Structure 1
Amino acid sequence: MSEFALDPRLANDTRPVLSLALCEVLLMNDARFPWLVLVPRQAGLVEICDLPPERQAALWQEVNQAAQVLRSVAPFDKLNLGALGNIVRQLHVHVVGRRKGDAAWPGPVWGSGRAEPYAEDALVAMTERLRSALAR
């Protein structure tokens, strides 16, 4: 069995927040949306159904935890969850907070305009707030 490695595209587009029991939690470096990505640390996963049932349950618990924390750190009107994998095949779940009138509203965030990277100080602040809230 091969060793877990984060897909290079995910590594390029995100910043690490912290590790939960199953997943790496990443912040999408796009200040237009409060957006986390959870990646189970197991090599070779493509679909949620590739995980055994108990790990699927753990994944959804961590997605729920991430969603609750995201809502507390960056309130939003609607939560979007997605495990698309059409471009990046490595299993990952997007947890995206949407606000009415945001840059992609009401359409999907994927493929909507160009990402607007966080300013460095804002990136550090957001990462720290998320890390602190997730660590509780």
Structure 2
Amino acid sequence: MSDFVLDPRLENDSTSIMVTGLCDIRLSKDARWPWLILVPRRAGITEIFELTPLDQVLLTFEIELVSAALKKVTGATKINVGALGNIVRQLHVHVIARSEGDANWPGPVWGFGKAEPYKDATRDKFIAKLREALSS
């Protein structure tokens, strides 16, 4: 793990809220959707199948943990999970809470409109709720 380096684009576009056994859990800076990004802290990994079998199980567990916490905190209609990596190759998994009436519902979040930053107080309150939900 000591040679793990976070891709600068992920670092720029998100804020770390918690580190788990495998992942850096990060909040997207785009406030239009409650959007978390799990980044396995493993160097040189671009695909899930490149992780060790144990890390694959841990990633699945952490995706479930984050998805359940995000649903609890937001009351979302649907939790979307995806690992695309066409632009940022470093393995990362998006977990996005979607609700009827949100920006571009029911269409995809990618490539839609312009990102809207969080207000500091709103972001901090949301992060506190997420940390509480992830810790219980």
TM bucket (normalised to shorter chain) is: over 0.9
User: Take 2:104 and 2:6, find their aligned partners in 1: how far apart are those partners?
Assistant: 27
Q: Give the match for residue 41 of structure 2.
A: 41
Opposite residue 26 of structure 1, the aligned amino acid is: R
Pairing of 1:110-125 with structure 2 (within 5 A): 110-125=110-125
Structure 1 stretches of at least 4 aligned residues deviating more than 4 Å after TM superposition: none
User: Take 1:117 and 1:95, find their aligned partners in 2: how far apart are those partners?
Assistant: 18
For 1:64-120, what per-residue CA distance to the aligned partner results, in whole angstroms no more than 9, with x for missing partners?
000000011111111111100001000000000111121121111111111111101
Q: Give the match for residue 32 of structure 2.
A: 32
Pairing of 1:46-61 with structure 2 (within 5 A): 46-61=46-61
For 1:5-26, what per-residue CA distance to the aligned partner results, in whole angstroms no more than 9, with x for missing partners?
1111111111111001000000
Q: Give the match for residue 80 of structure 1.
A: 80
Could you tell me how far 1:135 is from its partner in structure 2?
2.2
Residue ranges of structure 1 left out of the alignment (5+ in a row):
none
Q: Give the match for residue 134 of structure 2.
A: 134
Residue ranges of structure 2 left out of the alignment (5+ in a row):
none
Calculate the aligned-residue CA RMSD, in Å.
Answer: 1.3
Q: Give the match for residue 8 of structure 2.
A: 8
- How many aligned positions are there? 136
- With normalisation by structure 1, the TM-score equals 0.95
User: Take 2:105 and 2:30, find their aligned partners in 1: how far apart are those partners?
Assistant: 15
User: Take 1:72 and 1:2, find their aligned partners in 2: how far apart are those partners?
Assistant: 34
Report SS of the residue matched to 1:90: coil
For 1:27-66, what per-residue CA distance to the aligned partner results, in whole angstroms no more than 9, with x for missing partners?
1111111110000001101000110122111101000000
Q: Which moved more, 1:47-56 or 1:59-68?
A: 47-56
Identity across matched positions, percent: 51
Q: Give the match for residue 97 of structure 1.
A: 97
